Structure 1
Amino acid sequence: MRTVALDDFDSRMGPADRNVPLTDALGAANAALNYYELDEGDSFAYGVHAHQSQEEFFYVVEGTVTFETLDVQQSADADGDAASTDETEVSAGELARFGPGEFQRGVNRGSDRVRALAIGAPQDAGDTEILRECGECGETTTQAIELADDRSEIRTICESCGSVTGRFD
């Protein structure tokens, strides 16, 4: 058996106020585990995303998370939109599950702090596709993640035009 205390870990850089990776600390071999704290406007992820081969579970310990979901399987409508979006609130004591290939992003849209656990299985997520709005392209595009040369921030980069679409420290 292994035990750990959250207060013993530093947060890693990203879109959440606090993100503590616990997988290695607990010696997990078949699942990934992360602890999050989100201030108002913070998110679990860099954009709406889907993991090719991993399902994700979120347990909300405190607060309310709004999950944005995207159905990219839906055929284009008359306006040319290729996907439909939906939002679902998940509150303290509730859980959400996303299967492999399901696009989602959890955001704290309230003023109360969110505390949550995220579990992914299997541990290897496979390819992850991230989508964000690109101001230069004028549409939602696939994104790459890169660490700044001086290691001061993580950036999301539009894969179509190379523009920086987000900065996270």
Structure 2
Amino acid sequence: MERVRVDDVENDVQPAAVMRKLTKPLGLTDLAINYYELEPGDSFSFAYHSHGVQEEVFYVIEGTATFDTDEDPVEVDAGEAIRFDRGEFQRGWNRGEERVVALALGAPLEYGEQVKLRDCPTCGEPTDNRLERVDGDGEEIVVAYCRECGTETGRWYRGSMDGEVP
């Protein structure tokens, strides 16, 4: 048995105000679990994306999360869950005025090949991006780069919103 207090897990650099990875602290080997708190405008992920081998479930504890999909946006209210299959594109947001609190669960633990689509100003369209963690004067930063041309398409600091530099 493993037990962890969510507030004791370090906040990760993500486009969400709070993102705590619970997988390792709980000693999980087949399931990924992440805890999120999204302020208005925050996102669960760095890009509109899909996982090659992982299916993903989001359970909304508080607020309303809106997921962009290949069809229409889907709103998921507190007490509801949504599942995305392997290869299904999605990106979840807090488009409301109240904080969203949610859990993301993914199985198997590995993502497989991921496609991360972000708007590239140089290419003029959404392109697949690679993410790189860099040190910015002692603070960890995540930077997104277009795989086609290498242009930077976003930059996040701990607790920053989608691509914005505080």
Corresponding residue of 2:156? 168
* Residues 59-78 of structure 1: pairs in structure 2 closer than 5 A: 59-70=59-70
Corresponding residue of 2:54? 54
Corresponding residue of 1:3? 3
Query: AA paired with 1:156?
Result: A
Q: Distance in 2 between matches of 1:48 and 1:93?
A: 24
Please say if 1:25 is aligned against 2:25. Answer: yes
Query: AA paired with 2:33?
Result: L
Q: Distance in 1 between matches of 2:28 and 2:141?
A: 28
* Residues 3-152 of structure 1: pairs in structure 2 closer than 5 A: 3-70=3-70, 85-150=71-136, 151-152=139-140
Deviation at 1:148, TM superposition (A): 2.5
Q: Deviations over 1:53-104 (max 9, x none)?
A: 000000000000100012xxxxxxxxxxxxxx42000010000000000000
Deviation at 1:152, TM superposition (A): 3.6
Deviation at 1:42, TM superposition (A): 0.6
Provide the secondary structure at the position in 1 that maps to 2:7. Answer: helix
1:149–1:7 CA distance, 2 compared to 1 (3 A): closer
TM-score by length of 2: 0.90
TM-score by length of 1: 0.88
Deviation at 1:3, TM superposition (A): 1.4
Query: AA paired with 2:153?
Result: T
Corresponding residue of 1:159? 147
Give 5+ residue unaligned stretches, structure 1: 71-84
Deviates more, 1:2-11 or 1:106-115: 2-11
Q: Distance in 1 between matches of 2:63 and 2:36?
A: 12
Identity %: 48
Q: Distance in 2 between matches of 1:20 and 1:149?
A: 20
1:149–1:9 CA distance, 2 compared to 1 (3 A): closer
Provide the secondary structure at the position in 2 that maps to 1:106. Answer: strand
Q: Which has the larger radius of gyration?
A: 1
Q: Distance in 1 between matches of 2:141 and 2:14?
A: 8
Deviation at 1:149, TM superposition (A): 4.1
Q: Moved runs in structure 1, 4+ residues, more than 6 A?
A: none
Q: Distance in 2 between matches of 1:11 and 1:27?
A: 18
Provide the secondary structure at the position in 1 that maps to 2:24. Answer: helix
Q: Distance in 1 between matches of 2:141 and 2:47?
A: 16
Q: How many residues align?
A: 155
